[in-house]
Chain A
Amino acid sequence: MTLLASKPAPLVRPPERAPYWTMRRRDELAGWLMVAPQLVGIVAFVIVPLGLVVWYSLHEWNVLAGTFDFVGGANFEQLASDPRLGPALRATGLFSVGLVVLNLSLALFLAVLLNQKLRGTVVFRTLFFSPVVVTLVAWTIVWGFLLQDNGGINGFLDLIGLDGPNWLRGESTAMISVIVVQLFKGVGLNMVLFLAALQGVPAELYEAARIDGASAWARFRRVTVPLISPTILLTSILTVVGSLQVFAQIAVLTQGGPGTSTTVLVYYLYQQAFQFHHFGYGATISLLLFVIVLALTVLQWRMRRKWVFHES
């Protein structure tokens, strides 16, 4: 990727000193100047804070009492024996796995439907995508309203003779509700990315498969999935990382309840740091969250060699 000037070099060099500011040096300077804001920002707002998280996690920090004492690994020992850690990890895992699996499969299903040569698909595409642009908290509030015991959803269920539960107050239904709210909010984004990928699959490949007598399912498995696998990888990474960041939905819908059934790691971190003012302990939870994000991303990136298909 070198961009050399296309001027041919003169055959006879005039006997003068070469200027200091050669094209290469200018490019060097321009490149550094252009990435400077982003680089300075990342150092100041990502790398330094990450270092501070590690530093804080080694201290017992009581904001209200104004104490900041080095305690070494005590926070980590406390976290390892915290009775609330298990449930928080379980809730995080349930939420992430549930959301990612449902989101990717529904997004792909809708994309395949919209990719058929049918009239009016643009209208459906707009409708499916519309929740993406609805204010997150607004979307959450209206679902919170619908999911009340006497809310809209149970009202409609009642009409067809079903008795709906109090969705947000039941241990098992609360988690399902939070996943579903987030699913319909964000699935349109992945759907659009899949749709773009599907439209890039050459039609002659399907033709060839059809001539070979492959069924529709075999064509999907053997042609479509391999060819859009780079997009599947990208959307899965983005969706996994996004699922670990979910906070507003929990705060608005369930406040981590009932019990601690929807207290995911981010929400627990928020409670420890900003409700109980345990900044040192909160930082320890932050580190755990970071390690999880890192591990899952690396894992997915590793897996790409296995199943992401590249046209060579």
Chain B
Amino acid sequence: MSRKLKLLVYGVLLVCCVPFVFPTWWMATTSLKPVNEIFAFPPRLWPRDVTFDAYRQVFALQPFGQQYLNSLYIAVLVTVGTLVVSSLAGYAFARIPFRGSGVVFVVVLAGLLVPNEVTIIPLYRMFDGLGLVNTHWPLILIPVLGAPSVLATFIMRQFFITLPRELEEAGRVDGLGRFGLFWQVSLPLAKPAIGAVSIFTFLHSWNLFLEPIVFLSSKDKFTIPQALTQYVDAYGGALWNVQLAAATLSALPVLVIFVLAQRQFVEGLAQTGLKG
């Protein structure tokens, strides 16, 4: 590649970066600006007077700490639950020749075609009938057992299919049963797939918006996405600096973890048989 072309590619990449990076930067810096500065003209990339007032209000106006914990524990439970369900099912579909596996697989895959948005009304009625509206159960059970876990099962299956048969045959010789083979031979090798599924699932739960606003009504039960939209003044206008402070608190930890572990993140994703 010639020098000129190299420079051109770098230039294009740099320009392309702006819409990806700038919003996050703007979110974090605006949350540190005093109210009279957030709409200042010309726009400032760095606050003139740094203030943490917005962050004080985040916790003063709503039980934001509680809401943060809600989001966190739900996302962790959903991730663990999905890993259990999808690794078992993905393994069985990939490695066990049981009668009816083809039919069951098609039934499960049908879950991919039925987004939760389609079934939200009956799901609401079902949980309402069980007295579980305004609890966290629907936010945990629907992702783990319903349509969202199907993609995880699919990723797991794609991975388990690639494992060489000799490994399990050796395990058989050592006297391992079916669960032994799964637990001691195949699962330890599935780290990339487990990583990718965990990331996907955690983010999906962390971002969930329709389900919480349908199922939850009391502020101490809210999860972060719903809480973010509640920072408004008496007229329903957004308290921008408070919203952005809360948004920063919700986004930065995940972002930092991602940057630290980005190798596993991106490469795990690329290796998971999502190559078509």
Contact = CB atoms under 8 A, between A and B. Distances in A.
Whether A and B are associated in the same complex: the answer reads yes
Interface stretch (A22-30, A79-87, A171-179): A22-30
B125 A52 contact: yes
Contacts of B10: 118, 120
Given A37-B85, A130-B24, A141 B118 contact: no
Nearest to B145: A41
A46 B228 contact: no
A20 to B, nearest CB: 15
A53 B27 contact: no
Given A40-B145, A116-B9, A269-B117, A231 B210 contact: no
A113 B17 CA distance: 12
Interface residues of B, number: 104
Nearest to B96: A31
Interface in A8-46: 26-28, 30-32, 34-35, 37-46
A132 B24 CA distance: 12
B167 to A, nearest CB: 11
B27 A138 contact: yes
Interface string A223-252: 000000111111000000100110110011
B96 A27 contact: yes
Given A46-B146, A50-B114, A137-B229, A234 B276 contact: yes
B121 A135 contact: no
Contacts of A118: 1, 6, 9-10
Interface centre among A44, A45, A124 (most CB of B within 10 A): A45
A193 interface: yes
A93 interface: no
B73 interface: no
Given A42-B110, A134-B251, A244-B115, A279 B121 contact: yes
Interface centre among A34, A151, A188, A297 (most CB of B within 10 A): A34
Interface in A113-143: 113-114, 116-118, 120, 124-139, 141-143
Given A41-B145, A293-B118, A32 B98 contact: yes
Contact of B276 (A134, A195, A231): A231
Interface stretch (B46-54, B56-64, B201-209): B201-209
B258 A133 contact: yes
Interface centre among B26, B92, B123, B258 (most CB of A within 10 A): B92
Binding site of B, secondary structure by majority: helix, strand, loop or mixed? helix
A179 to B, nearest CB: 13
Given A34-B92, A45-B142, A244-B115, A133 B1 contact: no
A35 B26 CA distance: 46
Given A1-B97, A45-B145, A117 B119 contact: no
A46 B1 contact: no
A273 B110 contact: no
A269 B117 CA distance: 9
A159 interface: yes
Nearest to B23: A142
Q: How large is the interface on A (under 10, 10 to 19, 20 to 34, 35 or more residues)?
A: 35 or more
B119 A50 contact: yes
Contact of B19 (A31, A184, A293, A308): A184
B149 interface: yes
Interface string B92-126: 11011111110010011011111111111111011
B20 interface: yes
A65 interface: no
Interface string B132-143: 000000000110
B227 to A, nearest CB: 9
Given A159-B42, A200-B275, A130 B20 contact: yes
A3 B97 contact: yes
A162 to B, nearest CB: 13
B111 to A, nearest CB: 5
Interface centre among B12, B39, B121, B146 (most CB of A within 10 A): B121
B255 interface: yes
A259 B207 CA distance: 27
Interface centre among A128, A195, A308 (most CB of B within 10 A): A128
Contacts of B65: none
Interface centre among B1, B9, B115 (most CB of A within 10 A): B115
A215 B272 CA distance: 33
Contact of B23 (A3, A117, A139, A247): A139
B55 interface: no
Interface stretch (A69-77, A202-210, A282-290): A282-290
B139 to A, nearest CB: 13
Given A129-B266, A151-B39, A135 B107 contact: no
Interface string B167-188: 0110011000111001000000
Q: Which 8 A-B pairs have the closest CB atoms?
A: A41-B145, A230-B276, A31-B98, A196-B270, A45-B146, A138-B247, A52-B122, A248-B209
8 contacts: A42-B108, A134-B255, A135-B206, A145-B240, A155-B42, A231-B276, A274-B213, A293-B113
